[in-house]
Amino acid sequence: MKKKINSMVVVALMMTAGCSSKSVVTPVAPPPPPAPAPVAVAPVAPAEPSGYGFDKWQRGPLGDVFFEFDSAQLSTDAQEQLKQNGSWLEGNSAKGALIEGHCDARGTSEYNLALGERRANVAKDYLVRLGVPSSRLQTVSYGEECPFTTDQNEEAWAKNRRAHFVVK
Amino acid sequence: MQVFRTVISAFVFLFCALIFSSPHLLARESGEYIAIRKAGSGKIALVFSKPDAKGQTESGVAQELDTIIREGVDFTGAFTMISPPLNLKDQPENKSATLNFGALNSVGAEVYTGGKVEVNSGNISLDMEVYDTAAARSLFRKTYTGSREQLRSIGHRFCADLLELLTGKKSVFGSKIVFVSNKTGFKEIYECDFDGQRVEQLTNSRSISLTPALSPDGRYLAYTDFTSGRPALNIRNLTDKKTLLVSKNGVCIDPGWRNSSEVATTFSADGSQDIYLIKTDGTVSQRVTTTKGIDVSPSFSPDGSKMAFVSSRNGKPQIFIQDLKSGQAKRLTFNGPYNTQPSWSPAGDKIAYSTMEKSGEINIFVVNADGSGLIKLTQRSGENESPSWSPDGSMIVFTSSRQGTKKLFVMSSTGEHQRRLLQIDGDQMQPSWSLFRE
């Protein structure tokens, strides 16, 4: 069991190192917690708009927004989350955000890099229309390279199709 | 073919190899041979004898060359290998004895090849001769030389000549495959020989490196990585090892070479992902696409006049072909809602690509460049992606998850003989086969 936990941590660290170190070292983020109990990861429904996102090290105030397969269109829930994110940014005008566009592992990697960018851009454009200055918002696409979870099922894919916010 | 062989093999031919001393391919004979073979079909029935050797050193070298040549010709899938008949030589104790073509024909051989190895102060000399067994005559003779370290190259140079002699086309020997592996925990770019041997790690950026592509002349390697914080294009000069980073606002991804001085890539500086042609110094020479959707994954016809690419201009990703001069684009794929990763064949007639099917499987298809003649090459074997043609068009390298994680596989251009290319740790993906041969 111990060994399994260790290997999970190693895999998680490797993924993080290759992907978004920024989401690990956000100003408000505590250091990565010790190995979580592997069985205790309760699945969070992507539809919940309350959120802090699904990145286990992301303790920022900006929630992720989620997309349908092969889509960069904002659902009602996604728009609701962006409004919450927008009002936080309005009240914290010294802060900006890096918006990461992500895709699930289905489809092909090259196309997903472009799709991830469209997801990040559509989230950014929505915030700009809400009045957040575009100079405070940056975007980057990670395509399918940095999944939140490497599980391969509908629930995992739904969590991976996201625009993830990192406070800057 | 059978009649021809039967008639010929009714005679006993005495044959002296020494008559043929020309090191060059006997074009007339080879042309005739290819013409005769076209009447027949499929694989060439080959008898290959381990090269003769006198001393102990020579015997060791001959043994190694035997393995290299045997594995080399086997890799091409062009041959059926037949064991040499015991009475191959009329006088087995005499190394220069006459070949027994009657015996070769009776075991079903169409072609026989053998030769001898000599080693002089470390220099290896391999003298090989190829015979048409039905006609009982030599088609080709050549001597290959090199050092002990070049044994693989010596063997493969012979294999390349053998293939060209018998098929009239250049082969896979000497070509390279670049690919991505996460073996170290990071996605880095690697290179290996056409047969998966001699794996070498080319990048060590500890970032995410993707979509490698070698220029047709082999002087440049283009790939995408995240070292600048966003996906940017790298163009590495493989001669002086200097790497040019092409980074713009938005993405710079998924390069495909048009020729050895121009590479196409997707930029999104104006918010839409479009394909541009850039020179090896990083300057833009032409914007190729202008639609609002995603345009990625350029792959060019051999003459560089047309470009196959993926576009979501109609909603879902489909493959289109654009004429660079007129700018006209025509949709190529209609099977299902998700067709990506086009690879244009070196002969220019076909395009391989991957389709995401309703079942969730991803499979590789090949279609004629005019959209006709669609065939499916993989099925019921997980996700099969990223097809890339060998420089002679005889094979396709691709990624498959059929054994669990993603690994590199090769198959014939019609989907036969699918097998693993590499045995290394981690996932491997995005293979790209070079057009050049060493």
* Cβ within 8 Å, pair B185-A17: yes
Q: Are residues B254 and A18, on separate chains, in Cβ contact within 8 Å? A: no
For B97-137, how does the pLDDT look when each residue is reduced to its tens digit (9 = 90+)? 689 999 999 999 999 999 999 999 989 999 999 999 999 99
Indicate the DSSP class of residue B410: E
Q: What is the pLDDT of residue B89?
A: 83
The whole-model pTM stands at 0.86
Domain with CATH 2.120.10.30 in chain B: 5-19+172-433
Every domain of chain B with CATH number 3.40.50.10070 lies at 40-167
Find out whether B257 and B222 touch, Cβ atoms under 8 Å: yes
B15 in contact with chain A, both atoms CB, cutoff 8 A:
no
- Are A104 and A160 a contacting pair, CB within 8 Å? yes
Closest-CA residue of A relative to B383 is A106
Report percent pLDDT > 70 for chain A.
Answer: 64
Instruction: Give the ipTM.
Output: 0.87
CATH topology of domain B5-19+172-433: Neuraminidase (2.120.10)
A34 located within any domain: no
pLDDT in tens, B212-244: 999 999 999 999 999 999 999 999 999 999 999
Indicate whether A90 belongs to any domain.
yes
What's the token pair of residue B280?
């090896």
pLDDT tens digits, residue range B152-199?
Answer: 999 999 999 999 999 899 999 999 999 999 999 999 999 999 999 999
Residue B13 has pLDDT above 50, yes or no: no
Position A33 in a domain = no
Set of chain A residues whose Cβ sits within 8 Å of the Cβ of B385: 108
CA of B319: which chain A residue's CA is closest?
A: A111
CATH number (domain holding residue A74):
3.30.1330.60
Q: For residue range B30-47, what is the model confidence (pLDDT) as tens digits?
A: 566 665 555 445 899 999
Q: Any chain B CB within 8 A of the CB of A21?
A: no
| Domain limits for position A147 | 65-167
Tell me the two tokens of residue B412.
Answer: 């014939």
Nearest to B253 among A19, A113, A139 (CB): A113
User: What band does B402 get if pLDDT is binned at 50, 70 and 90?
Assistant: very high
Structure tokens, B357? 């099917």
Partner-chain contact B316 A70, CB within 8 Å: yes
Segment B280-284 long-range contacts (CB within 8 Å, at least 24 positions apart):
B280/B215, B280/B220, B280/B235, B280/B237, B280/B244, B281/B244, B282/B235, B282/B244, B282/B246
**Residue A37 within a domain:** no
Q: Is A101 within a domain?
A: yes
**A36-58 confidence digits (pLDDT tens):** 433 333 333 333 333 334 444 45
Q: What is the DSSP string of A15-60?
A: HHHHS-GGGTS-TTPPPPPSPPPGGG-----TT-TT---S-TT--S
Report yes or no: B229 at the A interface, CB cutoff 8 Å.
Answer: yes
List the single residue in B208, B316, B338 with the smallest CB-CB distance to A145.
Answer: B208
**A-to-B residue pairs, Cβ atoms closer than 8 angstroms:** 85
At A56-101, the pLDDT tens digits run 445 568 889 999 999 999 999 999 999 999 999 999 999 999 999 9
Q: Which of B329, B319, B390 is closest to B356 using CA atoms? A: B319
Contact B317, A72 (CB under 8 A): no
Query: Residue B309 has which token pair?
Result: 């690419």
Domain B40-167 falls under CATH 3.40.50.10070 = yes
A31/chain B closest Cα distance in angstroms = 21
Number of other residues whose CB lies within 10 A of the CB of residue B120: 8
How many domains is chain A partitioned into structurally?
1
Of B229, B251, B429, the CB nearest to A114: B251
- Rounded Cα–Cα distance for residues B349 and B344 (Å): 8
Q: Which residues contact A78 (CB under 8 A, 6 or more apart)?
A: A65, A66, A67, A123
Burial letters B66-76, b for 16+ CB under 10 A, else e: bebbbebbebb
